[in-house]
Structure 1
Amino acid sequence: MTFPNHFFVRRLHRCFARTAALLGAAILLAAPATQGQSRFPPPPTTEEIDAWVEDAMARWEVPGLGLAIVHEGESYLSAGYGVREQGRPERVNGGTLFSIGSCSKAFGAATIASLVEEGKLRWDDRITDHIPWFRLHDPWTTREIRVRDIVTHRVGTGSNQPLRPLVTDRRDYLMRIPHTDADHAFRDRYGYTNDMFVLTGHLVETLSGTDWDSYAREKLWSPLGMTTTTARMAPANASPNHAEPHAIIERRFIGNAATTGMPLEPVPWQYVENVTVPSGGVITSADEITEWMRFHVGTHPTPPLSRSSVQLMHAPHTVIRNPSSWMPFEGPGAYAMGWSTGRFGDVTGVGHGGNALGFNCSIALAPEQGFGVWATTNRNSELPWVLTKWAMARFVGTEELRSRDWHAEFEQSVAEGNRRIFEAEEARQAARLDQGPSVPLEAYVGTYRNGYAGELRIRLTDEAIPPLMPAEGRLGRWDGTPGVHERPAASASAGAERNGMSNGAGNGSANGAGEATGVLRLVAEFDGRERPVRMPLEHWHVDRFDMWFGDVRIGVSFMLDDTARVTGVEMDYYGRFERVP
């Protein structure tokens, strides 16, 4: 019989815990959150949780998983399951580091709260009071945007991930926002955005005089004892105990990245840390996130912020009428500050979800009950959200919530999403015309420009083009700089070669191997952060081409005038470019 990695340690922990309860219950922290806990049935045993998780990992085809549960304000379980890297024996444990994606946003809001407590800014300060050069889509919004707006998803900017591989730093990223259209009117409604949490990082660095990681370490992580938590890839990758992300081998799979039944492979860690953080990019473990959850439910002995600041960060600010699957509530709720919040049965749920390339994360709290659960996987999977809903239901949920088949509900959601994606792809294929380019390929060659993406160069070449970013994630994630330990192109593209993808302007050459074909093809080139971003164009029909950023397809349509002169380019994600004379 085999046991999870934490089995014997946890057995010893429970023996100590029972002894401590008998000898010194009176000195335990008395959390108001635990009042009324008796109305819930007994929680699942750790053995029951182990069995559920092991079965769930097989069902969702997850290599490794980290799990932390806080019950009545104290650590109930901190554990690892499975392996850190598929095909290798090293096991996940409570100290294994995972990238937590947008679960980082709560840390971003907390660093702003820390600056408020220091007296360096106020929640209702104008952003331009502290960053005079900052601009949005119009002068009125630029003048009126306040600090609390940027952590409550109500500004209207959307998320401009396509910029990440092109910009040099946060300031460069933020200065391009005025060249986009607003998703919705300022303070009109909830609209999820990574952009404003990018702005929180710049605001913290401007007012603190140090980088965001150092500030978070000093003000949040050190007081909580989170000694290995970081927002930097290099130290995380240098740790002997970190999880490797995994992605579907088939880079051009048209469907949800959580789909089961498709082979996985390890891929490099990727995110743009001096742009993305703290919108995403925090790296932590089950052991250390336990201290973060204890702080938020009010039972940590050395809280880095006042209780009033925590309550403000949990308070509803922006109404959410239709919650996303990662939110720890059902029906209408709200976004708070770096957290979503609403009712889950009879309790108030506070939480967040996170995605990064090859990692998914979910955190859910019921602060008044002293409960918290955090789950993370080293592949993109719905399992963290299934697990946190299941755990909330079992610990603080109603009988109806405890009886629901959370697996089946999320599997149905994935299947329905895939159905819509497949139907859209079938319609796209059906509308394809059997017609070649309307002008010779040389006519498309030239330089094009817009204020958002900068300069676009279309070249004609027969040289080998190595895979741009073979491990880049789907679903619009564009954290496209090379990983700290980026794999060689030939190795990383093995899946592409196995699946016989084509590259170039309809020439049928092999994708990803980097070998010269001797066939002329069009290539789109941008100025990148660390190297040119080069993507071969594949002819679709007439003046429409496709190019691939990893497994994200980008449509490229050339515009011609009445004389058949190419005057511009319309590109998915990047908008319209005008040709430079």
Structure 2
Amino acid sequence: MLLVVLASSQYAQAQEAPSKDFDDYINKALKDWDVPGLAIAIVRNDQVVFARGYGIRKLGDSTAVDEKTMFAIGSSSKAFTSASIAMLMDEGKLKWDDPVSKYLPGFQLFDPYVSREISVRDLLCHRSGLERGDFLWYGTPYSRDEIVRRVRFLKPTWSFRSTFGYQNIMYLTAGQIVAGVSGKSWDDFIRDRIFKPLGMTSSNTSITDLKSSNDVATPHAKIDGKVEIIPWRNIDNIAAAGSINSNVVDMAQWVRLQLGEGAYKNQRLISSGGLKEMHTSQTVIRMEPPWSIFYSDAHFLNYGLGWFLHDHRGRKVVEHGGNIDGMSALVAMIPEEKLGLVTLTNMNGTPLPGALASRVYDLYLGVQPKDYSAELFKIYNAFLEQGKQAQKKIEESRVKGTSPTLALDKYAGTYKDEMYGDAKVTIENGKLALTTPGFAGDLEHWNYDTFRVTWRARSLGKALVTFTLNAQGKVDEMKLPDLE
């Protein structure tokens, strides 16, 4: 009788895992999307029913990705920050709608009204009215405190609380609140209050901690149409918005906590009310590009507190992706089905994790699965083609036969910005070079007093830089687009 029970249990568990067809589907998708490697874990009814790696860790090296391979999870880290706030709320140390200034007395934004009114909740649901301003932290030496101080110079793009506007620096600010209220750094709080109770022993909050691991994926990006290896980037200064590194086995425990409504192995880490608030719509996201491209089947798209919310075949989906240099990730769940997954890849900006999530949903919902990878691949490539056509128009609009108004050495100098800091233009080997607090690049004349910078970090691509002259015919300003 015991043997029969055990056999039935094993059969039931095996039935929870996808068939070999799923392996074939992923391997084909990797090839179609030019993704070197990927790992995926699936959680169903509080059990990790599937965890596997596909492809390779590094281009040119046959070492395979497995379920323990470490990747950057990027902005999937944001939910850890909102969970930390929920934990402190459970302890009565703060409230979602408390003003930020209550915990960070020196906090200031460009608009004094917003400085006074912005709440902890506002930090977590992308409705500050601010554009991204990522050049402030990305690649720069500025500390977390200094970034939060400098954001006061970022002019609003939209009215406060009127529009969804993705904002990493507001998440950093929430992380600084966690540090101030708890008395320990954001990193230590995440480690002690989330990683340790969940047994996420491989996970960390800085690439400096990856040195102790011998199973680490290498970042890749497509540059000039070719997949290339790129360096890991240290983003400790924006940590609360995206610096966690993990593997799918560890991250599956995080999914179990979410599906367990804040409890894990009979231990409550977050109140059910706090977790429910994180999964509750806070900000509406209009269904227009680019969102409508990646959520083409959804009827709605909202943002909670650290989570995107949408629908799939009549079920509510809770998810958050992550993209940072050479890595793309997705954590996604259908709570009412007790179903969740984690997908981690070593390819920059690939939408593949979203397509695989939809495939998994269909498999477990018992419906005929669509070929989401092929559908998205077609739509995404059309989107990229639009970008190429837009770039072509920019190229065609270039006025040929013009020259800079001044000699090149007259453009050299230090250009100051209260928010971003000093940018320097110098002469190197008879050509102009640009150095910002984060990056360096080479300038070539475009037309008139506009130059094109080719960043030496090649995955950043190129951008147009325009110099303006004053009434005396001298350069007094350089306009450099922010990183988007």
Tell me whether the two structures share a fold, i.e. TM-score over 0.5: yes
Give structure 1 stretches of 5+ with no counterpart: 1-15, 29-41, 254-261, 463-519, 575-581
Q: Are 1:212 and 2:186 matched, yes or no?
A: yes
Cα distance 1:20–1:312, how it changes in 2: closer, same or farther (>3 A)? farther
Q: Are 1:428 and 2:394 matched, yes or no?
A: yes
Cα distance 1:366–1:527, how it changes in 2: closer, same or farther (>3 A)? closer
Q: Are 1:343 and 2:343 matched, yes or no?
A: no
Give the letter for the 1:396 counterpart.
L
Cα distance 1:204–1:17, how it changes in 2: closer, same or farther (>3 A)? farther
Give the letter for the 1:278 counterpart.
A
Partner residue, 1:455: 422
Give the letter for the 1:19 counterpart.
L
2:58 is paired with a residue whose SS is coil
Give the letter for the 1:523 counterpart.
A
**Residue correspondence of structure 1 range 215-254 to structure 2 within 5 A:** 215-248=189-222, 250=223, 253=224
Aligned partners of 2:148, 2:454: CA distance in 1, in Å? 25
Aligned-residue offset at 1:219: 0.5
- The structure 2 residue matched to 1:294, chosen from 249, 253, 256, is 256
Aligned partners of 1:168, 1:410: CA distance in 2, in Å? 38
Task: Answer yes or no: is the 8 Å Cα contact 1:223–1:303 preserved in 2.
Answer: no
1:269 is paired with a residue whose SS is coil
Aligned-residue offset at 1:349: 0.7
Aligned-residue offset at 1:377: 1.0
Cα distance 1:522–1:22, how it changes in 2: closer, same or farther (>3 A)? closer
Residues 294-341 of structure 1: CA distance to partner in whole angstroms, max 9, x if unpaired?
A: 111117313421222211111111112314555697122311110011
Partner residue, 2:136: 163
Residues 196-216 of structure 1: CA distance to partner in whole angstroms, max 9, x if unpaired?
A: 111122111222222212110
Aligned partners of 2:107, 2:454: CA distance in 1, in Å? 32
**Residue correspondence of structure 1 range 176-575 to structure 2 within 5 A:** 176-248=150-222, 250=223, 253=224, 262-273=225-236, 275-298=237-260, 300-301=264-265, 302-322=267-287, 323=291, 330-380=298-348, 381-396=350-365, 399=367, 402-433=368-399, 434-462=401-429, 520-527=430-437, 533-549=439-455, 550=457, 551-573=460-482
Cα distance 1:140–1:291, how it changes in 2: closer, same or farther (>3 A)? same
Task: Answer yes or no: is the 8 Å Cα contact 1:341–1:349 preserved in 2.
Answer: yes
Aligned partners of 1:194, 1:408: CA distance in 2, in Å? 31
Residues 264-302 of structure 1: CA distance to partner in whole angstroms, max 9, x if unpaired?
A: 2322211321x2212111111111111111111117313
Residues 428-483 of structure 1: CA distance to partner in whole angstroms, max 9, x if unpaired?
A: 11111221112111222233222122223322243xxxxxxxxxxxxxxxxxxxxx
Aligned-residue offset at 1:97: 0.9
Task: Answer yes or no: is the 8 Å Cα contact 1:247–1:266 preserved in 2.
Answer: yes
2:264 is paired with a residue whose SS is coil
Partner residue, 1:133: 106
Task: Answer yes or no: is the 8 Å Cα contact 2:451–2:464 preserved in 1.
Answer: yes
Cα distance 1:280–1:18, how it changes in 2: closer, same or farther (>3 A)? farther
Aligned partners of 1:223, 1:403: CA distance in 2, in Å? 36
Task: Answer yes or no: is the 8 Å Cα contact 2:41–2:52 preserved in 1.
Answer: yes
Aligned partners of 2:49, 2:393: CA distance in 1, in Å? 50
Partner residue, 1:488: none
Partner residue, 1:57: 30
Aligned partners of 2:215, 2:293: CA distance in 1, in Å? 30
Task: Answer yes or no: is the 8 Å Cα contact 1:328–1:341 preserved in 2.
Answer: no
Aligned partners of 2:28, 2:391: CA distance in 1, in Å? 33
**Residue correspondence of structure 1 range 91-110 to structure 2 within 5 A:** 91-110=64-83
TM-score, L = length of structure 1: 0.76
Residues 336-365 of structure 1: CA distance to partner in whole angstroms, max 9, x if unpaired?
A: 110011221121111011111111111210
Aligned partners of 1:20, 1:352: CA distance in 2, in Å? 37
Give the letter for the 2:473 counterpart.
A
Aligned partners of 2:219, 2:4: CA distance in 1, in Å? 35
Task: Answer yes or no: is the 8 Å Cα contact 1:328–1:364 preserved in 2.
Answer: no
Cα distance 1:562–1:426, how it changes in 2: closer, same or farther (>3 A)? same
Aligned partners of 1:72, 1:556: CA distance in 2, in Å? 54
Partner residue, 1:48: 21
Aligned-residue offset at 1:43: 6.4
Aligned partners of 1:276, 1:76: CA distance in 2, in Å? 34
Cα distance 1:139–1:345, how it changes in 2: closer, same or farther (>3 A)? same
Aligned partners of 1:571, 1:139: CA distance in 2, in Å? 26
Aligned partners of 1:287, 1:193: CA distance in 2, in Å? 29
TM-score, L = length of structure 2: 0.90
Aligned partners of 1:426, 1:17: CA distance in 2, in Å? 67
Cα distance 1:21–1:280, how it changes in 2: closer, same or farther (>3 A)? farther
Q: Give the alignment's Cα RMSD to 1 decimal.
A: 2.5
Task: Answer yes or no: is the 8 Å Cα contact 1:158–1:195 preserved in 2.
Answer: no
